A and B are shown apart, each in its own frame.
Chain A
């Protein structure tokens, strides 16, 4: 464990050094992440422009919901999705070879190698928006609420990561499906909407989107002092199940890794 902390500390250093080398790239990445963060908020602002409530949520609560979505997804995009979007290239070009011959957990390496620091701005923007919506809703937030929120948000992050990883592990067999990452961005964006909206789907479809339905919903409910224990329990259970599935599936997939021609 200590060794992995040391490795990750070094990776953070290398990522920061790379960032400082290419400042134009950093600015472009900031434009991208802030742009998409703003677009996410704008989506809900426009969709709710003519309604005062939807699915049992007041408009302001929906906006708060999306502020929290921006924070959690901002953290996800900073540490995880940048690696996921490079995974197809790592596999397709055979760069996974260099990782597999090293004495390091390969899932750790492919999942955490890169860090997209530009998402700090997206997180700050979402945090500011969330704080403002808390003020608009005249909510009082206690340290307990924040702790609950952080714990549930961490579980949501584990769940989202595991979901992404299980699906993108299929790139071992279908390495030309580079747009699978775009599918995941689209699929994950369903988490912007409350569980009650997604519950309109037929039960077989709802089961598929259940992880997304709970990922943002549950931490937001905790902050609004409306936490549902069954939902929290389901979130933790799904996070653990998908985590185990991700690890097992990746190990199974590596049996079928064919590398790339030299």
Chain B
């Protein structure tokens, strides 16, 4: 591969920036809050820059959104979130509830 000065420059800029931006540990907190409230302009710019150079945090955000969307559409399909480990009312609880309702 020929010497690619452009790629090298990009690489250098990314590391220079990453050293000056909030860390991943700080950024994941902001990513989580971005799902709860609207971020300030400053927070948004710092987040965008961080995501531009950090694939890991890009994936982190993508995964949080994937988890949210998956859970919500599952809940729509199946609100009791029935799990393969079939939890049911125990016979004892069933009887107790029936008694409390006045059924024999």
Partners in one complex: no
Q: Which residues of B contact A (CB under 8 A)?
A: none
Binding site for B on A (CB under 8 A): none
